[in-house]
Amino acid sequence: MKKFIIGIDLDDCLADSISAFTRLANKKFGRPALGAQPCDWEWSNFGLSREEQKSIWDDIKEIPNFWVDLERESGFTPCRLWSMDRDHDVYFPTARVNTKGHNARKQSSEWIYNWTNIRYPSVITAYEKGPMARALKYDYFLDDRPKNCQDIHDALPNCKVYLKDSSHNQAFVCPEWLIRIQDFNEFEKIVNDAAQEEQ
């Protein structure tokens, strides 16, 4: 089996942060409805002003170890990530904000361990994902944000980049080099199949 270098975004690819944000917003402002999904990156269908959204993020920063308690995203089977990490070099780049308690990197590592039993996950916290990609030389990358996918492609044109299908990226039309897929499990199968073919 060929060994690949892989980058996987956490929020909305593995962890369900949107539901946690929605619950906090509903509790504080009575909107959006529980279970609502954002239609774009501004979350314009949530009925929240920028100031209200900022106030929720300010609240999140005060919640100890907020990132540790997130549920998993649908279409993410933890044992499949464990197997991927066993067979390949997997990195988890994330732009999460720090909250009270451990820093975002340590909280993210704990979340991955709690769900997958990956003992030392390689979590990297940074807002710019392109420089990380160039340094690590990803073969495969998964994210739900088109901008991040573009940054990876610009940094590593030969990397196979995948956009995880989400409510907030429906209006985005993928260029030829970017492939939209349903979820992490589909991504894992693509990588596993390629590794078997290239052994």
Q: What is the pLDDT of residues 138-161, one digit of tens each?
A: 999 999 999 999 999 999 999 999
- Residue 71: pLDDT band by 50, 70, 90 thresholds? very high
Residue 178: is its pLDDT beyond 80?
yes
Residue 132: is its pLDDT beyond 80?
yes
The 3 state secondary structure assigned to 44-108 is HHHCCCHHHHHHHHHHHHCCCCHHHHCEECCCCCHHHHHHHHHHCEEEEEECCCCCCCCCHHHHH
Residue 43: is its pLDDT beyond 90?
yes
Q: Pick the closest to residue 187 from 148, 142, 144 (CA basis).
A: 142
Whole-model pTM: value is: 0.96
Nearest-angstrom CA–CA distance, 31 and 117: 36
pLDDT score, position 126: 86
- Residue 49: pLDDT band by 50, 70, 90 thresholds? very high
Nearest-angstrom CA–CA distance, 148 and 53: 22
pLDDT score, position 87: 97
Q: Cβ(137)–Cβ(158) under 8 Å?
A: no
- Residue 127: pLDDT band by 50, 70, 90 thresholds? confident
- Residue 82: pLDDT band by 50, 70, 90 thresholds? very high
pLDDT score, position 199: 66
- The mean pLDDT value for 155-177 works out to 97
- The mean pLDDT value for 78-99 works out to 97
Cβ neighbors of 74 (< 8 A, separation 6 or more) are 16, 183
Q: What is the largest CA-CA distance in the chain?
A: 54
Nearest-angstrom CA–CA distance, 40 and 173: 13
Please provide the average confidence, as pLDDT, over all residues in the chain.
96
